[in-house]
Structure 1
C-alpha cells in the first residue's frame, strides 16, 4: 500500500511541458499522498525503508510545488504587467463595445446617406464587431487566469506548510527508527581505541583513508559484487546542484578533488549503492563525515552532514539513509520567487577514492549538468 502511494506521488509530479498552475496542483496532490504514506509507514514491516521513501516523496513534492508556485508567480506578474501596459488599449476597447451595445436598431437604420448608407454602415459594424469581441474574450481570459493563479498560490501556500510539517515529522520518525534498528549485517566491529589513534595521527584525508582498514576487528571479506559497470551512472547521494567540480577552487582559493553540491536544508542523504560504513564522525576540517565502501579499494567520502546515521561496520542496502543535511530545514520554502529557488543552501562535499587515490566523482556519479 505504501509503495502504491509513493508511486502515485511520483506520477503526480509535474511534467516540464505543463502549465504553472497544473504543475503546482499535481505537486500538491503528491504531497497529500506522501502524508498518507507517512501515516501508514508506522505499521510497515521495514519502517526505515518506508520512512526513507516517504521523506524522499515529501522532498520531491515540496521541490516540485515550490517550482510550480515560482512559475505561477512569474506568469501572474507578466500578465499583470501586460494588462497595465495595455490600459489605454483596454479602455478604448471597452468604450467601443459600450458604444456599439448602446445603439438601438432604430438608430442604426437612420443614416445621413439614406438606406444604402445605413446598409454599408451596418456591414462595417458587423465586420468590426467580431474582432472587438475576440479581443474582449482574450482580455477576459487573461483576467481570469490572473485570478486563478492568485487563488492557486494562496491555496498552495497552506499545502506547502502542511508538507513542511509532514517532512519534518517523517525525518524525526526516520531518525528514531534507525536508532531502534538492530537487524543490519556487519562486516566488522569498530575498535574505538584504534579509531581514536588514527584520527589523532591523521593530517590529511588521504592518510586517514589509507588507515581505515586498521580500525576494525573480526572483519569478513568484502562482498563479491562489482559495481564498475555502473561508472558514470550512479545517482547522487542527495538532490542538489553542483557548485564546484573536482579541482575547482573555492572562495578561499582552496581546490579539492571532490564535488560540492548545494542542497536543501535538512535534505536526506542516502547511499547510491550497497556499501559498508567505514567511518562515521567528525574528521579534520571536513565536519561530520561518513565514508562508504561499496567494494574493495573504492571509497565514497560524504562530508558536511549535520546528522549521520548508522554504525561503523554496518552494511547498507542501496538507497539506505546515511544522514541529514543541516540548516533550518525548509525555512525558505515560501520564498518561491527566487530565481534559483535555493537561496540559502547547505553544501555536501563528495570525494571518491579509488585504490587510495582521489578520482573525479563524475567518473562515478551522474548529474543533470553532465
Structure 2
C-alpha cells in the first residue's frame, strides 16, 4: 500500500478523532479558565447572589403576609387547621426525603467527575501529542511516486511506519474521546440533579414557612384556651428539677401539674378505642377534628411512622456504651428536620429535662407513654391533644442528648422511647415496615 492510499484511508478517522481530542483540550482549558476567574467576575457574581437573596427575602415576606391572612381564616375551624397541619407536615417530610435522595445520588457523581477531570488533566501532554500527530496525518499530501525510485522507496517506508503507529494512536485517541464523553454526560446529569435539588429546596422553604404560620395559629388558639399557660410552663420546669428519673417526671407532671393532670385524666377516662374483630379502625384516623385517640395504642403494631426522617443508629436493648442497655431507639437526622407525632396523645410534658435536652412526653392512653427527645424547639404545650402526623418539633444542627454528644455524633439525633405502665418497652413492633403500611391523620 502506498502512502497516498494510507493517508487517504486515515484522513476521515483522524479528523473525527482529532475533533474529539480538540474538544477535550478545549474543555480542560475552559475549566482552568473558570477556576482562575478574575476578581471582577467574582465581585459581579457576589452582587448577583446578594440581589437574588434580597429578591427571595422580599418574596418570602409577601408570601408570609398572604399566608397570615389565609391561616387566620383557617384557624377559625379547628378541624381544617389540623388537616392543613398534618398535610403540610407530611409534604415537608416528603421533600426532606427527596432532598436526601438527590444528595446521595450527587455524591458518587461528583467523585467520578473529579476522577475523570483529574485523568484528563494528567494526560494534557498526551492530548497535545495525539492532536499534533493527527493534524499532521490529516494535512500531509502524498508525494509523487513517479519522480525517482528513491522517492518511491521513501514513500513506502513512510507508509509502513505510519501503518505501525496509527493503531496505537487510535487506541489512545479513542480512550481520550471516551473519557471526554463520560465527562460531558456526568456534567449534564449533575446539572439536572442540582436543578431538581434547588427546586426541592425552594419548595421546602415555602412549605416550612406555611407550616410555621399554621403552628403559630394553632398555638395561639391553644394559649387562648389556657390563660395561665406561661405559669404552667414555668411550674413544669420547676417540677422537672425536683425529680431524677423519667418515670418520676411523668408521675409528677400527671399528679401536680393542672394541664398534665387533666390530660392524663382524660386519657384514662377515654380509655382505649375498641377494635372490630381485633383490628384497628383506620378510617377513624381520617377525622382531623377528633379529641381522643382514633385507635388504641396496643392495636396499632406495625402501623406507626418514625417521627422524623433519618437512619436508625441505636436500637432498643443494645449496650449503651456506659454499662447499661438502650431503653429506646436513636435516629440520626438532617439539621432542621421536621418532627411529627407517631400516634395520637396528650402532651404531659414539654420542655428541657436533664441530659435529654428538649423532651416531649405524650400520654397515648391505655397506660402507654411516648417520649421524644433531642429536638431544638418544641411547638406544642402541656395539656394539648395532638394527632398522628401532626408537627410538634424541629431538630437543631447538632445532637442535644448527652449520651449522643458523648459518642461524638456529627449530626442531630432524635431519641424515641415507648413505655407501658412506667416500664420501657421495645418500640420495634409498632413501626411500619414500609411506606404503604404507615398511618397518618
* Cα pair 1:108 1:122 within 8 Å, conserved: no
Contact 2:116–2:179, Cα closer than 8 Å, also in 1: no
Cα distance in structure 2, aligned partners of 1:312 and 1:108: 100
The answer to whether the Cα contact below 8 Å between 2:316 and 2:426 also exists between their aligned partners in 1 is yes
Match of 1:361 among 427, 436, 439: 427
- CA displacement at 1:285 relative to structure 2: 3.1
Relative to total residues, which structure has the larger strand share, 1 or 2? 1
Asked whether the 8 Å contact 1:257–1:359 carries over to 2, the reply is: yes
Alignment correspondent of 1:244: 314
Q: Would the alpha carbon gap of residues 167 and 92 (structure 1) be closer, same or farther in structure 2, given more than 3 Å must change?
A: farther
User: How far is 1:286 from its partner?
Assistant: 1.9
Distance 1:304 1:231 in 2: 24
CA deviation string 1:167-219 (max 9, x = no partner):
65345324323323459x99xx9x95996786455221122335555342362
Identify, as 1 or 2, the structure richer in helix. 2
**Which has the greater radius of gyration?**
2
- Out of 194, 205, 216, which is 2:261 matched to? 216
In the other structure, the counterpart of 1:346 is 412
CA distance in 2: counterparts of 1:272 and 1:120, whole angstroms? 78
C-alpha distance after superposition, 1:34-81 (max 9, x if no partner)? x9xx89975675342343234324423433343344333212112112
Distance 1:169 1:196, change over 3 A: closer
How far residue 283 of structure 1 moved from its aligned partner, in angstroms, is 2.6
Within 1, Cα distance between the matches of 2:162 and 2:356?
A: 82
Q: Name which of 172, 179, 182 aligns with 2:219.
A: 179
SS state at 1:83 partner: helix
Residue 311 (1) aligns with residue 360 (2): no
Partner residue, 1:265 = 335
The TM-score, its normalising length taken from structure 1, stands at 0.65
Unaligned runs of 5+ in 2: 1-59, 75-79, 274-294, 399-408, 435-441
Q: 1:121 to 1:234 in 2, by over 3 A?
A: same
| Residues 133 and 288 of structure 1: CA distance in aligned 2, closer, same or farther (over 3 Å) | closer
Higher mean displacement: 108-117 or 247-256: 108-117
C-alpha distance in 1, partners of 2:155/2:320? 84
Moved more, 165-174 or 347-356: 165-174
Change (3 A) 1:127 1:283: closer
Equivalent residues in 2 for 1:98-177, closer than 5 Å: 98-104=135-141, 106-107=142-143, 112=152, 134-135=174-175, 137-145=177-185, 148=188, 162=202, 165-166=205-206, 169-170=209-210, 172-177=212-217
Q: Classify 1:67/1:203 alpha carbon distance in 2 versus 1 (closer, same or farther; 3 Å).
A: same
The question of whether the paired residues in 1 share the 8 Å contact of 2:350 and 2:358 is answered with yes
C-alpha spacing 1:276/1:74, structure 2 compared with 1 (3 Å): same
2: CA distance between counterparts of 1:159 and 1:306?
Answer: 26
The equivalent of 1:279 in structure 2 is 349
CA–CA separation in structure 2 for the residues paired with 1:355 and 1:162: 45
Q: How many angstroms apart in 2 are the aligned matches of 1:108 and 1:315? A: 98
* RMSD of aligned Cα (Å): 4.7
Q: Provide closer, same or farther for how the CA distance between residues 282 and 118 of structure 1 changes in structure 2, counting only shifts above 3 A.
A: closer
**Alignment counterpart, residue 366 of structure 2, candidates 275, 279, 296:** 296
Which of 311, 321, 335 matches 2:391? 321
2:243 equivalent in structure 1: 202
Q: Is contact 2:332–2:412 with CA below 8 Å preserved after alignment? A: yes
Task: Give distance in 2, aligned partners of 1:122 and 1:78.
Answer: 33
Kept after mapping to 2: 8 A contact 1:206/1:356: yes
Instruction: Give 1:365 deviation, angstroms.
Output: 3.3
* Secondary structure at the counterpart of residue 285 of structure 1: helix
Q: Structure 1 stretches of 5 or more lacking a match?
A: 1-34, 329-342
Give the paired residue count: 314
Contact 2:357 2:373 in 1 (8 A): yes
